[in-house]
Amino acid sequence: MKTDIRSMLPDELTCFCKEMNLPSFRAKQIFRWLHIDGVESFDEMSNIPKQLRDKLNEIAEIFHCTIENKQISLYDSTVKYLFRLNDGEFVESVLMKYKYGYSLCVSSQVGCRMGCTFCASTLGGVVRSLTASEILAQIFAAQKDACIRVSHVVMMGMGEPLDNYDNTVRFLKLATHEDGLNLSMRNISLSTCGIVPKIYDLAKENMQFTLSVSLHAPNDELRSSMMPVNRKWPVDELLKACRDYVKTTSRRISFEYSMVRGKNDTDECAIELAKRLKGMLCHVNLIPVNAVDETGCIGSTPQRVQQFAAILQARGINTTVRRTLGADIDAACGQLRKKKMKGE
């Protein structure tokens, strides 16, 4: 097994170089090539002697992404990538342009094992988790392809980041490292379906990214019918962990609420949701669910979404309706990979 060199933190890379009897400036040079230039091979490291590059090639590997497929939205120039990983697996990323810069939605796993009924990513289960370097590689590949700098990252692509906890935290450390991409922690969001013990762990890391929690329903009956994870960690326990998270980090939590027509979009749901979130430093993001053939779920109408938002706002809950980007390019998670698997 070759060393996954882009997943190493600077200290680890320094040790790695020391073991090879290299001077410490080599570790700095290599880190720059990997994390600023985003190289895909050791041969691109032009200030590293050829002999050393050959040695590195033998013992280490740079995980990177190649573009297997790319779709550009005609409406808003959102780009959806299907990336091929070193071992031939596929993941998706979505590049979105905002007033403040470019935001990339990255995947954390190949597939997902959480089983949410409305989601395309989970249809075939999980194949494996991504390494930190494979999450990073999505950023480098998108930047290179679009000739832009990514300033914001959302961990809302395929997979459950907290089901891949160590690599996710490692990715956050690397992406925000000042000698690397140097992204601002405040420009990163991490979305979870609600793995409660990991939310407590995350709070202890005390990082300043935004935690998004996919809530989608105000009570156990409804939430368990949409998200199997709720049978293990019900709404009460989840919201308790969220309150603890806010207390420990002083960061506002964002609740995602994907609206399925006739399922979780009624006035009663909005009233119940407002009651449960009352007094919490939080924000609710509403989005009509993206239709995925296999799931049979249909998104709520714009009027319903507005009415739902109005009920929450009238009860003092900070609420926004999320703009849907890339609706013409299967930008809802998992749809491209699923088509590739089916050979469509």
- Residues designated catalytic: 92, 333
CA 171 to chain centre: 11
Interaction residues for ligand SAH, span 28-87 (CB under 6 A): none
Among 17, 82, 119, 142, binds ligand SAH (CB under 6 A): 119
Q: What is the DSSP letter of 289?
A: P
- β strands within the chain, DSSP E: 3-4, 60-61, 66-72, 79-84, 90-98, 101-105, 109-111, 126-129, 150-155, 188-192, 210-214, 253-259, 282-288, 319-321
> Residue 284: what are its φ and ψ, rounded to 5°?
-110, 130
Comparison of 17 and 82: residue with beta carbon closer to ligand SAH: 82
Shortest distance, CB of residue 144 to ligand SAH, whole angstroms? 24
Shortest distance, CB of residue 212 to ligand SAH, whole angstroms? 6
CA–CA separation, 195 vs 203, rounded Å?
A: 13
Comparison of 118 and 209: residue with beta carbon closer to ligand SAH: 118
Among 27, 106, 153, 156, binds ligand SAH (CB under 6 A): 156
Q: Is 332 in contact with 118 (CB distance < 8 Å)?
A: no
Shortest distance, CB of residue 65 to ligand SAH, whole angstroms? 18
- The reply on whether position 332 binds ligand SAH by CB under 6 A is yes
Residue 90: which residues within 8 A CB-CB, separation 6 or more? Answer: 68, 82, 83, 84, 110, 337, 340
- The reply on whether position 118 binds ligand SAH by CB under 6 A is yes
- The reply on whether position 241 binds ligand SAH by CB under 6 A is no
Site string for ligand SAH, 189-218 (x = CB under 6 A): --xxx--------------------x----
CA–CA separation, 254 vs 191, rounded Å?
A: 9
List residues near ligand SAH by CB under 6 A.
Answer: 114, 116, 118-119, 156, 160, 191-193, 214, 256, 258, 287, 289-290, 292, 332-333
